Structure 1
Amino acid sequence: MSEKFQMVAKTLQGLEEVLAEELKEIGAENIEVGCRSVSYYGTKETLYKSNFWLRTALRVLKPIYVFNARTIDEFYGNARKFDWTSVMELSHKFAVESVVNSELFPHSRYIALKLKDAIADQFRDRFGKRPFVDPKKPHITFHIHVNNDVCTVSLDSSGESLHRRGYRVAQDVAPINEVLAAGLIKLSGWNGDSVFIDPMCGSGTILIEAALIAYGIAPGIFRQHFGFENWLDFDEQLLQSIYNDDSRERDFEYLILGRDISKQAIASAMENIKESGLNKKIDLGVASIFDYNPPKVDNGIVITNPPYGERLKKEQIENFYKQLSDVFKNKYAGYDVWIISSNQEALRSFGLRPSKKINLLNGALECKYQRFSMYKGSLKSKQS
């Protein structure tokens, strides 16, 4: 029976519960939701599946050593006690990332430096040489998290952030993070059961993530490499079996439609969709949202990331959002329309009352993710 151990998956604020649900689907155990993270237990197979299948995880860490320290000297001394040769070799280049939440150690960079010293000094004492530190292309990445006097060292199993799927070869002015895009779809409850539209699709990230969900395709399928492939206990056969398992793939009978007024944005979207191999599964076209007529349906979904107005005057963006609400009201009967925006003033001028609100972050911007249900006929008849 495979050994079970703790893992921690990092995510964006507001997506923790979605990530916990994804973890249940891959068989994770003892799942505990934290702030921008979810802790859980599983086997090596769970770890590999986490990196390959989780749509809303940024990275997956494996805690390997916990110790207490109240001074820098104590930190260095206790860090030296771990056998670092059990997780890396002298030939491995390594890096250390640090997060410090402690009045005892105000400088996170210094903590990272002292852990690097503890690791390198142990190798020097044993082999007469220190391994190289390479923050840009390390073989092994350690994360040190300090909370008051509790210090937790973890191995980073992901390597490059998992939001970098590998299909984005072109981008628009302000592309949405792939993990956030997948999170928006998951939060909406859409699971490939109706028409999907992004009428302001930019470089196509939301469309691609929707297609991956609709067809049951793993987001890790495009990745060239995961961090755990450099680990001493890497099992290539196990990874290949996960790669080759197509049991979750399925047919999708509806349309996924993307439109944008910008020819350049659609050209970028086409490049990315072609790179993802989904070009026959997504319908793209150049069109203003004010001119585009969506398919008439009883049940459909719109998820879009409209301009927030950083480069527009207040009157212009508020007028744009008011016109948007008119378009959705007049053309999108039967659709649930989900909009993410950081512009609270513009959302107030939207002219429709949201049926659901969720607080999220898009980069550093605090956003509202809101659902507007475009009922066919009167609201009264919909509720009766």
Structure 2
Amino acid sequence: MEQYFATVARGLEDTAAQELHTLGARAIAPGFCGVTFEGDQALLYRTNLWARLPFRILVKIAEVRCQDADELYKEIRRIDWEQYLTPDFTLAVAATGKNHQLNHTHFTALQVKNAIVDQQRDRFGQRSSVDTHRPDVQVNIHINRDRATVSLDSSGNSLHRRGYRPAVGKAPLKESLAAALIYLSGWQQTQAFCDPLCGSGTLPLEAALMGLNRAPGLFRDRFGFETWPDFDAGVWQKLRHEAEAEQHSDLMAPIVGCDRDAEVIAQAQDNARNCQVSDQVTLQKIDLSLVEAPASSGVVLCNPPYGERIGRDEDLAAFYKLLGDVLKQRFKGWTAFVLSGNKALARSIGLKSSQRIPVLNGNLPCQLMKYELY
């Protein structure tokens, strides 16, 4: 059993822990901005392929002392790096956290890199090249007081970059946050789903991928673990084939996204084609005031502008009032969820929320507000 750490957005640790449990993870322990868990190599591959909430899956290889730069260098050099990379593998090091002596992440990363390549020079007479863009092996070092956790990044690029979304609007939600909001809403595959303010389509597209049981990792061209010395191509191909076989051919209920901006709807349609759901999801250019419910019940989920990055010059209070009116008049029998980073604007919706869930959108504190529409 290996020990893994899934990095997630702050506040979503418990939701990510539930998702990892469904994927077969063991010894699950939510922490700060992540979840520790255990499993075998197949689980490592499966979580990268299927998990919708994490940014990265790290494989812990050591914990070392690091009171200062010299101690960190010596401790890193003691690790047997040959099992993880030889000089013909490219290398990159990323550092997070700090202590009194090691308070600059770039310097910390440089110390770790130097320790690894100096060991290689002694052992092989040559060293790995550094490739910060697409390394064969990405080492992660996290400093907390006088201890450093040394890990390998099995994901490569952040998992929230599914690979289907080159086209984005002005203030796009990360795919991982969109998936988390859908989980938090309690939406089920049998329920209709509507985002009346869909922008470039992230919420309806993530819902469609869930509804079709489509693994988000199927759209990526590469994961970090695929260039590791111990990569098991047979296990990986088996997991990919199983994921492809487990997909549903059709959604069980309608999924709809609407936006008044023709350009962003065109982007949403491009993204839908990229993730092969364009024949399943309805994405339409329509003003909020004209949106109609696509079924008698379901879940409305939207992320209206709240004046941080877009909408500064508009009368957003009137826009929020319109949103509340449309929900009240057109979506009776539905449950609505609105993500808002502006409490004053949220009050303009004019509906009483039955629940408020704190959520961070990047660094912006928001609330996911639930409305039962009778």
TM-score interval (norm. to shorter) = over 0.9
Q: Which residue of 2 aligns with 1:220?
A: 217
Displacement of 1:80 after TM fit? Answer: 0.7
State whether structure 2 residue 146 is matched by structure 1 residue 146.
no
Q: Which residue of 1 aligns with 2:302?
A: 304
Task: Determine what percentage of the aligned residue pairs are the same residue.
Answer: 40
Alpha-carbon distance between aligned partners in 2 of 1:354 and 1:277, rounded to the nearest angstrom: 35
Deviation string for 1:189-247 (max 9, x for gaps)? Answer: 11212110011111111111000111111111101100000111000110111101146
Runs of 4 or more consecutive aligned structure 1 residues displaced over 4 Å after TM superposition? none
Q: How many residues align?
A: 371
Q: Which residue of 2 aligns with 1:77?
A: 74
Alpha-carbon distance between aligned partners in 2 of 1:330 and 1:52, rounded to the nearest angstrom: 41
Displacement of 1:362 after TM fit? Answer: 1.2
Q: Which residue of 1 aligns with 2:272?
A: 273
Q: Aligned to 2:60, what secondary structure does the other structure show?
A: strand
Q: Is the 8 A contact 1:294 1:332 kept in 2?
A: yes
Identify unmatched segments of 5+ residues in structure 1. Answer: 376-384
Deviation string for 1:299-349 (max 9, x for gaps)? Answer: 310111111123445881112111211111111101111111212220122
Identify unmatched segments of 5+ residues in structure 2. Answer: none
Q: Which AA in structure 2 matches 1:300?
A: G
State whether structure 2 residue 96 is matched by structure 1 residue 99.
yes
Q: Which residue of 2 aligns with 1:124?
A: 121
Displacement of 1:125 after TM fit? Answer: 1.4
Q: Which residue of 2 aligns with 1:182?
A: 179
Deviation string for 1:163-204 (max 9, x for gaps)? Answer: 110101211111110000000001111121211001111111
Q: Which AA in structure 2 matches 1:30?
A: A
Q: Aligned to 1:137, what secondary structure does the other structure show?
A: coil
Q: Aligned to 1:217, what secondary structure does the other structure show?
A: coil
Q: Aligned to 1:244, what secondary structure does the other structure show?
A: helix
Decide whether aligned partners of structure 1 residues 113 and 313 sit closer, same or farther in structure 2, where only a CA change above 3 A counts: closer
Q: Which runs of structure 2 are paired with 1:147-162 in the superposition (5 Å)?
A: 147-162=144-159
Q: Aligned to 1:228, what secondary structure does the other structure show?
A: helix
Alpha-carbon distance between aligned partners in 2 of 1:365 and 1:191, rounded to the nearest angstrom: 28
Q: Is the 8 A contact 2:254 2:294 kept in 1?
A: no
Alpha-carbon distance between aligned partners in 1 of 2:86 and 2:213, rounded to the nearest angstrom: 38
Q: Which AA in structure 2 matches 1:324?
A: L
Given the two structures, how large is their TM-score scaled by the length of structure 2? 0.96
Q: Is the 8 A contact 1:8 1:62 kept in 2?
A: yes
Q: Which residue of 2 aligns with 1:62?
A: 59
Displacement of 1:293 after TM fit? Answer: 1.5
Alpha-carbon distance between aligned partners in 1 of 2:319 and 2:251, rounded to the nearest angstrom: 34
Q: Which moved more, 1:184-193 or 1:154-163?
A: 184-193
State whether structure 2 residue 3 is matched by structure 1 residue 6.
yes
Q: Is the 8 A contact 1:165 1:220 kept in 2?
A: yes
State whether structure 2 residue 16 is matched by structure 1 residue 19.
yes
Alpha-carbon distance between aligned partners in 1 of 2:236 and 2:196, rounded to the nearest angstrom: 38
Alpha-carbon distance between aligned partners in 1 of 2:8 and 2:68, rounded to the nearest angstrom: 31
Q: Aligned to 1:290, what secondary structure does the other structure show?
A: helix
Q: Which AA in structure 2 matches 1:85?
A: E
Decide whether aligned partners of structure 1 residues 143 and 128 sit closer, same or farther in structure 2, where only a CA change above 3 A counts: same
Displacement of 1:136 after TM fit? Answer: 1.4
Given the two structures, how large is their TM-score scaled by the length of structure 1? 0.94
Q: Which residue of 2 aligns with 1:370?
A: 369
Q: Which moved more, 1:214-223 or 1:125-134?
A: 125-134
Q: Is the 8 A contact 1:300 1:334 kept in 2?
A: yes
Deviation string for 1:131-164 (max 9, x for gaps)? Answer: 1112112111000011111111100000000011
Displacement of 1:364 after TM fit? Answer: 2.2
Q: Is the 8 A contact 1:104 1:148 kept in 2?
A: no
